[in-house]
Amino acid sequence: MTTLAHISDLHFGTETPEIVEGLLQDLVAVEPSLVVVSGDLTQRARRKQFVAARLFLDRIPFPKLVVPGNHDIPLFDVVRRFARPLARFRRYINEDVDPFFATDAVAVLGMNTARSNTWKDGRLSLAQIDDIRKKLGPLPPHVSKVLVTHHPFLPPPGDPSPPLVGRAAEALRAAEACGVDLVLAGHLHCGYTGDIRTHHGHIRRAILVAQAGTATSHRVRNEANSYNVIRLSPQRLGFALRVWDGKGFHEARFVEYVKSGADWQPAGHDPAVS
Ligand SMILES: [Fe+2]
Ligand SMILES: [Fe+2]
């Protein structure tokens, strides 16, 4: 069993210090195998904000995989935005903006979707989609395969309006061919889980999705600060939503899926009677 902590949209510069401390305490209690950070570590890509994000990451005593978000590219400093968009991210957070983490049980591929020209919306390149095939394709079926981006592949339930990551359809085709089980993203400051097929009709096999809310910023959108704890094995995948209640994080929702052939089904669902 592998435990992933999925945190996102930290937005240092607009963080609530009490929640930052609460998150660190909660992560230590959860003891994840890997902490995934799906972008927007800063509010305005300022040096001071990156320093604060770096200090926060240094206090997490577990392996970390971090991708940038659109807020990690400067918006108003146009010279820096186009000439060196991720220079500060590379300097303070990680030189590699498409990081890869793998054990015998899990392989996690992070992909940078932040772009200078469409500052808010994100995109994948054809080379990144090729990397999905190269890095995840050869792995055996018992390895759980996970993609991480900042921009989402699946809109929130009941609201198809938010733009999805550019080239989502092509990337999902590659992900399906490689047996990807799970996609993690953020950006919308809204925590939800789902099956990619509810929005992408061309995908035949379940690829599960977890979107994380903002873990630490006061820029919430109608829901409390939260993050996801994901427990995965070749046969089971459980999503726990951990929500800030003013004093600490607690589990507010739990959803579990079980493997059925090559597919994932909600636990308790009998495919024979559907
Ligand atoms: Fe954000
Ligand atoms: Fe974002």
SS3 256: strand
The strand pair at 34-38 and 2-7 is best described as parallel
**Residue ranges of the chain with pLDDT lower than 70?**
81, 269-274
Asked if residues 174 and 203 have their Cβ atoms less than 8 Å apart, the reply is no
Query: Of the ligands numbered here, which is closest to the C-alpha atom of 214?
Result: 1
Q: How far is the CA of 165 from the centre of ligand 2 (A)?
A: 11
Name the DSSP letter for residue 164: P
| Residues within 5 A (CB) of ion ligand 1 | 9, 40
- Residues 30 and 22 sit within 8 Å (Cβ to Cβ): no
pLDDT at 49: 98
Of the listed ligands, the closest to the CA of 120 is: 2
Measured in Å, residue 140 CA sits from the centre of ligand 1 at: 34
Exposure on the CB side of residue 223, measured as CA atoms within 13 A? 15
Whole-number Å distance, alpha carbon 135 to ligand 2 midpoint, is 26
- Ligand 2 centroid, distance to 11 Cα (angstroms): 9
pTM of the entire predicted model:
0.95
Instruction: Calculate how far, in angstroms, residue 9's C-alpha sits from the geometric centre of ligand 2.
Output: 7
Q: What is the pLDDT of residue 84?
A: 83
The number of the ligand nearest the C-alpha atom of 152 reads 2
Q: Which residue has the tokens 């927007």?
A: 40
Round to whole Å and give the CA distance between 43 and 113. 17
Report which bound ligand comes closest to the CA of 114.
2
